[in-house]
């Protein structure tokens, strides 16, 4: 959503720039008559600044939205780098989510309370792709049932997230890069 808005901003910035360029070309002030050197066009500077700013928004918007959503997870999860530094604060009743993007399931060797069913799902070789992550957060039991084929599989995590999982995935990925 933010990305769409900022893309629109970028289009507006482009239009603004073209307008300025056009004005610059027809304006008698656009050339320095004494030295015959074309003057720097202020429009271009505005353009490149705006473009850089909106490009940065496009790239970081999903991760920023994910950061805001971290409050839904931090009661139970932290994001802690291998050197021990805590990149996102949180509790320890769930596994550390550092490097979770595309990692194998149940991969936190320091977490000893994985459910049997999450371990069984991990044994299939499944990974936390973005789609698996989204499916798991939307319905953890359902996800484990479809991965293991066991219709009574149950997750040890009782959280269901209807929206924002992709932003969270981007956020967690950005922390581990």
Residue nearest to ligand HEC (CB): 73
Distance, CA of 127 to CA of 99 (rounded, Å): 12
Pairwise CA distance, residues 105 & 103, whole Å: 6
Q: For residues 42 and 175, give the distance between their C-alpha atoms in angstroms, rounded to a whole number.
A: 37
Report if residue 141 touches ligand HEC, rule: CB under 6 A: no
Q: Where are the alpha helices (DSSP H) in 27-128?
A: 42-69, 116-123
DSSP 63-96: HHHHHHHGGGTTTT--EE-TTS-EEE---SSS--
Spatial contact of 76 and 155, defined as CB atoms under 8 Å apart: no
Residue 142 lies near ligand HEC (rule: CB under 6 A): no
Question: Rule CB under 6 A: is residue 53 a binding residue for ligand HEC?
Answer: no
Give 13 or 101: the residue with its C-beta nearer to ligand HEC.
101
**Which residues between 145 and 164 bind ligand HEC (CB under 6 A)?**
155-157, 159, 161
Distance CA 37, CA 18 (A): 21
CB of 175 to ligand HEC, least distance (A): 12
Size of the site for ligand HEC (CB under 6 A): 26
Cβ-based neighbour number of residue 54 at 10 Å: 21
When the beta carbons of 6 and 117 are compared against ligand HEC, the nearer one is 117
Residue 87 phi, psi dihedral angles, 5° rounding:
-85, -30
Which residues, numbered 106-125, are part of the site for ligand HEC (CB under 6 A)? 106-108, 114-115, 118
Q: Is 130 near ligand HEC (CB under 6 A)?
A: no
Among 24, 54, 62, 95, binds ligand HEC (CB under 6 A): 95
Site residues (CB under 6 A) for ligand HEC? 72-73, 75-77, 93-95, 97, 100, 105-108, 114-115, 118, 128, 133, 137, 155-157, 159, 161, 168
């Amino acid at each position: 959503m933010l990305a769409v808005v900022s893309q629109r901003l970028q289009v507006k910035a482009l239009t603004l720039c073209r307008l300025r360029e056009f004005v610059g070309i027809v304006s008698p002030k656009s050339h320095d008559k004494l030295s015959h050197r074309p003057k720097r066009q202020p429009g271009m500077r505005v353009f490149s600044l705006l473009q850089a700013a909106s490009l940065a928004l496009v790239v970081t918007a999903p991760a920023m939205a994910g950061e805001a959503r971290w409050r839904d997870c931090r009661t139970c999860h932290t994001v802690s780098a291998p050197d021990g530094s805590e990149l996102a604060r949180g509790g320890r009743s769930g596994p550390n989510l550092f490097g979770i993007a595309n990692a194998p399931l149940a991969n936190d060797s320091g977490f000893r309370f994985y459910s049997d069913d999450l371990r069984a799902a991990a044994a299939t070789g499944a990974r936390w792709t973005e789609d698996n992550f989204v499916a798991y957060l939307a319905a953890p039991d359902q996800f484990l049932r479809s991965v293991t084929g066991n219709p009574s599989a149950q997750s040890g995590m009782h959280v269901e997230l209807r929206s924002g999982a992709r932003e969270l995935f981007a956020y967690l990925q950005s922390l581990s890069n």
